[in-house]
Structure 1
């Protein structure tokens, strides 16, 4: 499996590019054949498009889908740019899709002035040309097996993407967006956030994962469920 991670934008949100191995991906072709290996792009936020292009050029990849964990602009601002540049479909849970066209709507009134220079008020942004219609549960994209796990609380449409790796030491990785981080969890005081719902998600979705699950968060370093179960103060008592 190929996995690249890089922070992008003023809030250093993690964007991920992931592809299956050539030996397991039925769409992959041998090196030198002129074919590009299909890949997924997760959370192309502010200023991420150019960095995505660098990664895919260097590694001979072609995005076939863009997956967004939630609607906040630091994770979704370049979703349409990346998806449309590669004729890829884009998926974001329906409750958060309004933030693709109005990024300021996902911010509190106090935060909106700080982002008005990036997203002028009253100017609607286009949706990606192809919005994917995916349901919660297992899906197969770019030769990869994923499960979409609804995880509301940070936003109404927050979704975890669980990728089955199948390796002994790392059977599964989960792209968590802003639901859980190394040592912390996402805030619930922005539009669409709810503390009680977040606690239910952390208890019933995140902590239900096996301890060896690797968590790839929307900000900061990777961690594991087991490490967070034992050390994250926001998960105690759930």
Structure 2
């Protein structure tokens, strides 16, 4: 599996491009603010053809470029059903001061084709299989996506789990109680070998986070 990472200028959001290799179909995950030009260059350089945009949740720093990317490639956007409303009105997911960081006068349009996902669903895209794992806490509709091949297992965690940290739970739709349940029932059971591809910051592994992430240690102690 070929995994390319582009980091958005704003908020340091990771945009991932996953494919079976150069010249293949691909999936774009979380195209953030200002990412579209560099994404176009990467797709051209690698000869990749997007078949879908997958969104880990509905926050604007992860969805800002979804409509132009979907429109330019005539592909659908996939998001968990509980965050789909944020594609119609992204301001509902941010506080007023967070929206001010994005900028006023946002000219927002929803993607033409939005496919909603449910917990446990399996989506086959670009020759890869993604299992949807509803993981609320950061937002009501946050989801992790599990995929992999013979060489490794990968989980796109969005803003659920980072290296040494977790996503904040104080924005609209967030819940500390839901996050604790997600960590306990969805993250901790994952195999140690799983490579974590987070929404911000460097990649890590479940083994590393089990050993050093204070939030996972807290969740484990709540068993």
Please give the secondary structure, in 2, of the residue aligned with 1:190. coil
Counterpart-to-counterpart distance in 2, 1:131 and 1:116 = 25
Superposed displacement of residue 38, structure 1: 0.7
Superposed displacement of residue 21, structure 1: 4.0
Of 128, 139, 155 in structure 2, the residue corresponding to residue 155 of structure 1 is: 139
Paired position in structure 2 for 1:131: 114
Superposed displacement of residue 108, structure 1: 1.5
2:199 maps to 1:201: no
Gapped regions of structure 2 (runs ≥ 5): none
CA contact (8 A) 2:118 2:134 kept: no
Paired position in structure 2 for 1:6: 6
Paired position in structure 2 for 1:233: 214
2:74 maps to 1:87: yes
CA contact (8 A) 2:14 2:198 kept: yes
Aligned residues: 218
Superposed displacement of residue 114, structure 1: 2.5
Superposed displacement of residue 133, structure 1: 4.3
CA contact (8 A) 2:81 2:118 kept: no
Paired position in structure 2 for 1:56: 43
Q: Deviations for 1:121-166, whole angstroms, at most 9, x for unmatched residues?
A: 6x5x221111124443322111001111110010001010111222
RMSD of equivalent CA atoms = 1.5
Paired position in structure 1 for 2:15: 15
Q: Deviations for 1:15-49, whole angstroms, at most 9, x for unmatched residues?
A: 00010148xxxxxxxxxxxxx52100000011111
Gapped regions of structure 1 (runs ≥ 5): 23-35
Counterpart-to-counterpart distance in 2, 1:195 and 1:107 = 16
Give 1 or 2: higher helix fraction: 2
Could you tell which deviates more after superposition, 91-100 or 228-237?
91-100
Paired position in structure 1 for 2:24: 37
Of 114, 134, 138 in structure 1, the residue corresponding to residue 101 of structure 2 is: 114
CA contact (8 A) 1:104 1:115 kept: no
Could you tell which deviates more after superposition, 205-214 or 99-108?
99-108
The alignment's TM-score, normalised by the length of structure 2, stands at 0.92
CA contact (8 A) 1:185 1:234 kept: yes
The alignment's TM-score, normalised by the length of structure 1, stands at 0.87
